[in-house]
Structure 1
Amino acid sequence: MTNPPIPTLTTVRLILRPPVLADFALMQTMLASPRAQYMGGPYDLIGAWRAMCQDIALWQMFGHGALMVDVRETGECVGQVGINHGPLYPEKELGWLLFDGHEGRGYAVESAGAMRDWAFAALGLPSLVSYIDAPNAASIAVAVKLRAVLDPDAPRQDPTDLVYRHWPDHQPN
């Protein structure tokens, strides 16, 4: 089975596009930093490469994966958003990250909302989850702004993770 090409999504301010090799330097810097603590990091060079390769490979295996987040006005890459799955994720997960210095501008909410809506339309999912470390207040705030609801009964790999559930109509069923 061949999956459709990796999409490019647009919002009012952002372009969500397929990753390219030139993005690895930004990803490696972020994944090597303390900012990666909520993602199992920080990662060394090999770990960062594996993470980026996984983000791309998901497209071939599952028909979803990660997209890089560019600001339309400047073309600057400010982060990544994606739908994760595989042995580490009991359910399909909506995840987001911003590179240092790009927080507080609504990019995470805007890009994650676009990716969520694409996933529901393109993949026909009944719901998505976001696995969030309890101390990660910024990601919890993004999930709440996306109208995800805390789901204490959801399966998770890490029992300390909070699980926020996203519904297609943005409201709990």
Structure 2
Amino acid sequence: MITLTGTPTLTTDRLTLRAPQPQDAPTFIDFYKTDRAQYVGGPKNDKQGWEFFCTELGHWVMRGYGMFVVTYKGDDTPLGIVGHWNPKTWPEQEVGWVIFDPALEGKGIAHEAAKTVIDYTWTTLKWDTIVSYIAYPNTRSIALAERLGAVRDDTAATPGKTYVYRHPRPAA
């Protein structure tokens, strides 16, 4: 197995958040071929999905942080990706989330993983601010951002047709 050296692994009571691995590519590519990917740059064909998966790996190398693959503890099947995203042209660093299988929605996976990543971002990466860019009208993602305590910031620059949700810094 190839690993991204120095990439952290985060855990919750039921989840593992780890670096993307080559064996995750088929699940990632299959998701990006579906209409469910419409709010995160899809749908994409096989070639585009492959290139985007490689971009996920490269983001870790170029930035030192990136999207974690989310799995249940003890099961290495990818459930989605949650983590950091900051292409060169974006106005701010983002924490985002994608759950691959609609049957997994409503089970708290994205919330649990995003909360863990946000906590890690404040305490370890020590970002000054955290936003989530949410394509409209992605109501499920908006609801999650609000459940995480984020507030819509209509004054912030966006990377496209998105809302900006700003996550509150934890109390000292």
**Matched residue, 1:132:** 134
- Secondary structure of the residue aligned to 2:86 is strand
- Structure 2 segments unaligned to the other structure (5+ residues): none
CA shift, 1:49, in A, is: 1.4
**Is 1:35 matched up with 2:11?**
no
TM-score, structure 1 normalization? 0.90
CA deviations on 1:7-66 (whole Å, 9 max, x unpaired) are 000011100011111101110010010011001210111211121111111112111101
Identity of aligned residues (%): 37
Q: CA RMSD in A?
A: 1.9
TM-score, structure 2 normalization? 0.91
Question: Could you tell me which of 120, 124, 127 is aligned with 1:122?
Answer: 124
CA deviations on 1:93-115 (whole Å, 9 max, x unpaired) are 11101011211100000001111
CA shift, 1:73, in A, is: 5.3
Between the aligned partners of 1:73 and 1:150, the Cα distance in structure 2 is 36
- Structure 1 segments unaligned to the other structure (5+ residues): none
Name the count of aligned residue pairs.
168
The structure in which a higher percent of residues are strand is 1
Deviates more, 1:66-75 or 1:144-153: 66-75
**Matched residue, 2:96:** 95
> Does the C-alpha gap of structure 1 residues 38 and 10 become closer, same or farther in structure 2, counting only changes over 3 Å?
same
Structure 1 segments of 4 or more deviating over 2 A? 73-77
Between the aligned partners of 2:16 and 2:64, the Cα distance in structure 1 is 19
- Secondary structure of the residue aligned to 2:71 is strand
- Secondary structure of the residue aligned to 2:39 is helix
